[in-house]
Amino acid sequence: MAAAVALPFIHPALVLVASGGFAGAMLTLPPTRARPWLALAAGPGLAALLGALGVLPWTGTLHLAAHGACMLAGFVLAGALLWRRAPAIALDPRLAIDACAIALVAGVVGARARYVWERWDRFALDAQGAPRPWPELLALAADVDGGGAVWYGGLILAALAVVAWARWRRIPLLPLADLVAPAVLAGLALGRIGCFLNGCCYGAPTTLPWGVENPACPGVHVHPAQLYESVVVVALAAGLWWWWPRRGRDGAVAFWAVVGYGCWRFINESLRGDHDVNRIVGMTPSQFTSLQLVAGALVVAGWMRWRRRQDVRADIDKRA
């Protein structure tokens, strides 16, 4: 497994707040030439204010690791795919990059927030079981670079942020969702390679010949669950990317992306050996979320089908 190199740096919490402030300003400010400069001032300005007030620390440690590099490469890959096909839905490629930037910041915040939420007692209480002071709790929770993120949290918050941005920009949601889904899955495949190199998200013990060693499980071989996911997600992304121009209706690619990945993630979770959180009705939190996403996709698809039938009937009645 790859080792990280630690360097003194601005505290990751400040970087996260500055990035979030920038993305929020880009999302809410009117599209003028001054917007990028105002957003650049808003993000770091908010971070500097919180640092000056003592809410967040100024200095910390930056960990340079293959995990972070693969995650960044995944976002770059997703952005490149969106750039290439954006004109096919009459979307300016520059707007596609805006969407990627918003998704990047929201994804990091959401992934970290979900991780903290699933392990709240470990963050809210210190080693002696006493409540942490709020400044210390916020700094610890925002220390993304210290490790700990849940992909589903990032996916959900990034999706909500991009939907809000698309509504504001008056971009049709279903064509955009079809465009984004394969790109997100392709980026996830690279990210999971980073998880493998980092040694996180490892699998349960196995006697299969392709079992691998992991520092968290000395003396035994474990499933390379991260690589399983990379392989399956690459296949799913490639299939949806090929099918995208041939889809029958807008929203179909996004539907199968959610259903396909949700079903796979539910299965792959049973091969994981790193579960350190409480289960929900016998399932891991990610398994429970997988079921929710699949059920939600089915409900939305059923509702849209019902709406199409209603529109057809209304059109027939109008012509009668």
9-12 — which CB contacts under 8 Å span 24+ positions? 9/59, 9/60, 9/61, 9/62, 10/58, 10/59, 10/60, 10/62, 11/51, 11/56, 11/57, 11/58, 11/59, 11/60, 11/139, 11/143, 12/60, 12/62, 12/142, 12/143, 12/144, 12/145, 12/146
The token duo for 96 is 């596609």
Determine the Cα–Cα distance for residues 6 and 304; give it in Å rounded to an integer: 50
Q: Give the pLDDT of residue 166.
A: 92
Ranges of the chain whose pLDDT falls below 50: none
Q: How far is the CA of 218 from the CAs of 72, 199, 210, 275, in angstroms?
A: 30, 12, 16, 17
Tens digit of pLDDT for each residue in 11-52?
767 777 787 777 777 767 776 777 777 877 888 888 888 878
Whether residue 53 contacts residue 29, with contact meaning beta carbons closer than 8 Å, is answered with no
The token duo for 204 is 């349960």
The token duo for 42 is 């808003």
Q: Give the pLDDT of residue 71.
A: 84
Determine the Cα–Cα distance for residues 104 and 158; give it in Å rounded to an integer: 7
What's the whole-model pTM score?
0.80
Whether residue 268 contacts residue 229, with contact meaning beta carbons closer than 8 Å, is answered with yes
Q: Give the pLDDT of residue 48.
A: 84
Alpha-helix residue ranges (DSSP H) falling in 170-212: 173-198
Q: Give the pLDDT of residue 18.
A: 82
Four-residue CA torsion sign, 48, 50, 54, 59? negative
Residue 10 phi, psi (nearest 5): -55, 140
Determine the Cα–Cα distance for residues 100 and 277; give it in Å rounded to an integer: 30
Q: Give the pLDDT of residue 176.
A: 95
Q: Give the pLDDT of residue 125.
A: 86
Q: Which residues contact 220 (CB under 8 A, 6 or more apart)?
A: 205
